Structure 1
Amino acid sequence: MTPDQLSQALADALAAAVADGTFALDPADVPAHVHLERPRQREHGDWATNVALQLAKKAGTNPRAMAEELVRRLAGTPGVAAVEIAGPGFLNIRLDTAAAGELARTVVEQGAAYGRNDSEAGHRVNLEFVSANPTGPLHIGGVRWAAVGDSLARVLEASGADVTREYYFNDHGAQIDRFARSLVARARGLDAPEDGYGGQYITDIADRVIADAAAAGEPDPRTLGDAEATEAFRARGVELMFTEIKQSLHDFGVDFDVYFHEDSLHESGAVERAVARLRELGHMFDADGATWLRTTDFGDDKDRVVLKSDGEAAYIAGDIAYYLDKRERGFDRVVMMLGADHHGYVGRMRAVAAAFGDDPDVHLEILIGQLVNLVREGQPVRMSKRAGTVVTIDDLVDAVGVDAARYSLARSSADSAIDLDLDLLAKATNENPVFYVQYAHARTSNIARNAAEAGVRRQDGFDASVLDHETEAVLLGQLADFPRVVAQAATLREPHRVARYLEQLAGAFHKWYDAKRYVLPQGDEAVTDVHRTRLWLTEATRQVLANGLGLLGVSAPERM
């Protein structure tokens, strides 16, 4: 019996009790699927539900009385061994061995589809992440968002959402000006401007701009006037830097559906259209020669200048136009993943969404990520883009590889600062969490190869009742929990839940196999359904490990 089947049995029991008048409950209040969770203590059963506590008051009874009625109605349900009442009305449900073991076959038969759900079905999600300025290589903070953002996109898609991955290309504003001036200075052999960028990459980009101009038969940009030189280095330098960032992300397994240019908002008139829209809605006002958005009407701590007194657009003008553009493209969920220094951004953007008539709790989500600290040989690895000691995405991949980098960055809640031990992540030991999970998958693959050589073929037989060992019950329980974990990760926007789940699953598998629950016949022992059924369980574990690693963009090796 799968969790979905048990949930449906509970829902049917509730519906029947309402239909015959036992519960004075509006049929519309009967859930289509009853929520189940794993009991904290294994001896309490396979599944638990608090549905009686949730619905008793509406049904005109007390939770324990409702629970007792559900126990009566579930009696005799195929696959249910026992239902017990705990506390004021919790139901603890124990499945019989055969019903629990059937899950192994269900997982294998569903294959890559196992774990997919429809909890986010019908939602069009614009997920913006990374969006680092093209003024230098992608540093470790952006790399964290690459790993977390792409994993979240995969989790949302597995939960039925239509997701567009978007990178906001900041090619407009003061930082780009400083980048261009830094290139010009380096190309002319001068020190970088006081507010400019340093580092070897500035020299490399400047040299490439000069070489590209020569190859195209164009004048040496160093010889142009300051304004022309700055523009030449800006245009080509930004293009080269962004191409490098995109390639690094691609090599990291992260590609975007849309690369949106900030400059296009200003060139296309989108800013002016957004301001006009807000003025029509009555939320703009003029004061001190500037144009303001009255964000305090929507919970912001102060009103915001949108167009400055000199006619130039303030930074928030682009944000306003960009949000409106996303909504006009048909996205009902605008999700933005921002760095730790963007906390002040949340209130003003929620106010912008409300000013356009949206519900900020529905249409806009801003996720704030915290810092990543790198440690090597017990010492922190320092970084500073302007000083030129950047720890980049390529540095991290060179140190530990794509799989370890992605997994380690995605396995912790994004709103918590993390320390990455580069020495640990390079180790092929169980201390390294990604190795631990990948090794479990490789071990299942090795068992399958050995089984084939020994003549154990799962298609020749399956008897779920033989999966009666305590370690098998625990492993089956972990496998059953995967769809719930995926749906919860999507709902909470927390892909790290998948990683932590995989570590628990790997642990349960290793414990089962180490308890000598043999898949292969020993000595002259004949192949029986015991071996075949355990192979089904092994294959089910392999499938779920592969599905979970895939949601994190991490490979599932067959040999290690």
Structure 2
Amino acid sequence: MTPAALADAVRAATVRVLGDRGLDQEAAEAIVPAAVTVERPRNPEHGDYATNVAMQVAKKAGVAPRELAAALVEALAGVRGVDSAEVAGPGFINIRLAAAAQGAIAAQVLTAGADYGRGGALSGRKVNLEFVSANPTGPLHLGGTRWAAVGDALGRVLAFSGAEVTREYYFNDAGAQIDRFVRSLIAAAKGEPTPEDGYAGAYISDIAAEVLRAEPDALAADDSPEVFRRVGVGMMFEQIKASLSAFKTDFDVYFHEDSLHASGAVGEAVEKLKASGALYEHEGAWWLRSTEYGDDKDRVVIKSDGLPAYIAGDIAYFQDKRARGFDLCVYLLGADHHGYVARLKAAAAALGDDPGTVEVLIGQLVNLVSGGKPVRMSKRAGTVITMEDLVDAVGVDAARYALIRSSVDSAVDIDLELWAKRGNENPVYYVQYAHARLSSILRNADDLGVPTGPGADSVDLGLLSHEREGELIRTIGEFPRVVATAAELREPHRVARYLEELAGAYHKFHDSCRVLPMGDEDPGPLHAARVALCAAARQVLANGLGLLGVDAPERM
């Protein structure tokens, strides 16, 4: 019995008990929450699961919580798969499942395979997920690297929960930063110092040299800046895309900011806002009445010199996304973009749209630590630490996992020595080793002729009555709920933390329960049941690692 099935059973029992106490069906259904909370208690001695439903509905039903809980305990005694239930504290109910009911969770995993944990809560939602979107003026720094890992994992989690997800990179190929980049390339090509407001680092000299190889007359050309812009920016962006792909992060759409200006989309959006009265003129500039939509101040959209401010492109870009049919636009932005939350929602409202179609996640800073000291300089970029610096130090899997496993609203310190270790103190190694260890057991079981997959229908999973077996099964059963919560809250780190809990439950099980026969011992029913449990655990580890874009190795 899965936690979801148990929650349904508890809800049905609560409705029945309220009916026995004189409430009609409709009234009872209205009182009992649609989703009854059923959780694993912190102390396993309190049972397999606990619910506070009696405390939630007692007052509305006009009965004392413990009295209602006692009646529910009697009702749950007749539910198939429930071994026992008891009242605790002011009205909690602790529930223990029969071994066969718990074993059914493992059977469900083996049947569902790679689809175990997949849900439909977001079915029908068309989500535009924009992340990284770093300026094409240098290699990806650690902030962009964090969004590459988190954004890709979030996209996987949302899709696993039923959403149609488009991963999008907003290519900032318009604006002053591109002009500074071009001037820096030209200075490097001429052998001159970096401009005061330019970009430094070995990569600038490398790209400048590449531009000259591709266009030998670039410096002498009448449109020299345009040549360096066209070729240099293109080369930088190709390097960024190659780095992201090597980091297992690919995009469905690369949207060019410049196209919004070239197509007239920015002008059209501005005129629409003027016509609706959402813009007003002041001191020669056009301002968005964003304070009317919750922003802390009004924003300049068209500057007094007639040129569009950056927000003008944001407004046109949002309008374009909605025109493409997206009903949810999720933006993953860096720590210096807090002001964008209100202004993007204000832009949506000013366009006559629902601000709820905009969600903005703000990621905090990432710091590298080596030997207990901060790492501050990049070998290639000079001024910032890059994606390549992190990957070179710990590898792609460890880098992704380290960046995903913490909530994005908290800063992260990555200890390079820790994440490069091949030991259990390294979280990604701990999880991957559990998968490899299980794979080894299943290979050996296969050699012994013990069924290890969906064909294990005849295995008696009711034999899995050991405390460690129960703990592992219940942890496996939490996976669908973890994924659903991660999708709902946009928090893929929950999957990583869950995998560490699952790996821990497996390692404890392995230390307490011998899975395969020893010596000349023939495989028996208990061996087969434990092998099936191992197959289920390995499947869930693989599914979870897949959601994080991290390999699930067969051998380590």
Give the structure-2-normalised TM-score: 0.95
Cα drift, residue 74 of structure 1: 2.0
Tell me, in whole angstroms, the C-alpha distance in 2 between the residues paired with 1:33 and 1:532: 36
1:357 corresponding residue in structure 2: 352
Q: Report what 2:496 is aligned to.
A: 499
Whole-angstrom distance in 2 between the partners of 1:131 and 1:444 = 39
**1:152 to 1:498, Cα distance in 2 relative to 1, 3 A:** same
Equivalent position amino acid for 1:347 in 2:
A
Measure how far apart 1:387 and its partner are. 6.8
Q: Structure 2 residue aligned with 1:266, among 254, 261, 269?
A: 261
Deviation at 1:384? 7.1
Distance 1:359 1:61 in 2: 42
Q: Does 1:439 align with 2:433?
A: yes
> Which residue of the partner structure matches residue 370 of structure 1?
364
Conserved in 1, the CA contact under 8 Å of 2:266 and 2:312? yes
1:364 Cα deviation from its structure 2 partner: 1.4
Change in 2 beyond 3 A, CA 1:460/1:369: closer
Deviations along 1:320-363, one digit per CA (max 9) or x if unpaired, are 11112212222221111111111122222222222233443x21
For 2:170, the aligned partner's letter is Y
Aligned to 1:85, the other structure's residue is in SS state strand
Partner of 2:174: 172
CA distance in structure 1 between the partners assigned to 2:310 and 2:232 by the alignment: 22
Equivalent residues of 2:202, 2:380 under 8 A apart: no
Correspondence for 2:462: 465
Does the C-alpha gap of structure 1 residues 262 and 109 become closer, same or farther in structure 2, counting only changes over 3 Å?
Answer: same
Correspondent of 2:411 among 412, 417, 440: 417
Note if contact 1:129-1:145 (Cα within 8 Å) is conserved in structure 2: yes
Post-superposition offset of 1:62:
4.3
| 1:197–1:385 CA contact under 8 A, matched in 2 | no
Cα distance per residue 1:218-277 (max 9 Å; x no partner) = xx011134xx21111011111111111011111111111111111111111111221222
The equivalences for 1:209-220 within 5 A come to 209-214=211-216, 220=217
Alpha-carbon distance in 1 for matches of 2:207, 2:555: 41
Alpha-carbon distance between aligned partners in 1 of 2:56 and 2:442, rounded to the nearest angstrom: 45
Q: Work out whether residues 291 and 306 of structure 1, in 8 Å CA contact, stay in contact via their aligned partners in 2.
A: yes
Verify the 8 A CA contact 2:116 2:540 in the aligned structure 1. yes
Counterpart-to-counterpart distance in 2, 1:23 and 1:94: 28
1:91 aligned partner, one-letter code: I
Bigger mean CA deviation after superposition, 48-57 or 151-160: 48-57
Measured in 2, the distance between the counterparts of 1:403 and 1:386 equals 22
- What is the Cα deviation at residue 31 of structure 1? 4.8
Aligned to 1:507, the other structure's residue is in SS state: helix
Counterparts in 2 of 1:112-123, with a 5 A limit? 112-123=114-125
Quickly say closer, same or farther: Cα 1:120–1:36, change in 2 above 3 A: farther
State which of 113, 128, 142 in structure 2 corresponds to 1:111: 113
1:372, CA displacement in angstroms? 0.8
1:439 counterpart letter in structure 2: Y
Answer whether contact 1:23 1:60 (CA < 8 A) is retained. Answer: no
In the aligned structure 1, how far is the partner of 2:261 from the partner of 2:408? 32
What are the Cα deviations for residues 282-341 of structure 1, in whole angstroms up to 9, with x where unaligned?
211111111111111122221111111211001111111111221222222111111111
CA–CA distance in 2 between the matches of 1:192 and 1:447?
Answer: 59
Distance 1:121 1:59 in 2: 35
Q: Kindly provide the amino acid, as one letter, of the partner of residue 98 in structure 1.
A: A
Equivalent in 207, 232, 235 of residue 237 of structure 1: 232
Alignment partner of 2:527 out of 528, 531, 540: 531
Q: After superposition, where does 1:280-295 map in structure 2 within 5 Å?
A: 280-295=275-290
Q: How many residues align?
A: 551
What is the one-letter code of the residue matched to 2:350? A
Distance in 1 (CA, whole Å) between partners of 2:313 and 2:59 is 50
CA pair 503-263 structure 1, distance change in 2 beyond 3 A = same
- Whether the 8 Å contact between 1:114 and 1:544 is mirrored in structure 2 is yes
For 2:310, which of 307, 315, 325 is the aligned residue? 315
Q: Secondary structure at the match of 1:221?
A: coil
- What's 1:6 paired with? 6
Are positions 1:39 and 2:41 aligned together?
yes
Match of 1:335, SS state, is: strand
Q: Do the aligned residues in 1 keep the contact of 2:334 with 2:363 (CA within 8 Å)?
A: yes
Match runs of 1:394-409 below 5 Å: 394-409=388-403
Tell me the secondary structure at the aligned position of residue 138 of structure 2: coil
- After superposition, the Cα gap between the structure-2 partners of 1:386 and 1:530, relative to the gap in structure 1 and judged at 3 Å, is closer
Residues 473-482 or 392-401, more deviating: 392-401
- Structure 2 match to 1:201: 203
Partner SS state of residue 421, structure 2 = coil
RMSD: 1.9
Give the letter for the 2:220 counterpart: T
What's the offset of the Cα at 1:460? Answer: 7.5
Distance of 1:23 and 1:464 partners within structure 2: 40
Counterpart AA for 2:464 = L
2:541 is aligned to: 545
Q: How does 1:21-36 map to 2 (within 5 A)?
A: 22-23=22-23, 25=27, 27=29, 30-36=32-38
Matched letter for residue 425 of structure 1: W
Counting aligned pairs with the same residue, the percent is 62
- Report the CA distance between 1:69 and its aligned residue: 3.3
Gaps of 5+ in 1: 215-219
Contact 1:136–1:385, Cα closer than 8 Å, also in 2:
no
Shift of 1:201: 0.7
Instruction: Please give the alpha-carbon distance, in whole angstroms, between the structure 2 residues aligned to 1:526 and 1:83.
Output: 38
The aligned amino acid for 1:473 is G
**Cα gap change, 1:55 to 1:279, in 2 (>3 Å):** farther
| Corresponding position of 1:217 | none
Post-superposition offset of 1:163: 1.1
Task: Tell me the distance in 2 between the aligned counterparts of 1:146 and 1:53.
Answer: 43
Distance of 2:304 and 2:34 partners within structure 1:
58
Aligned-pair CA distance for 1:52 = 2.8
Match of 2:132 in 1: 130
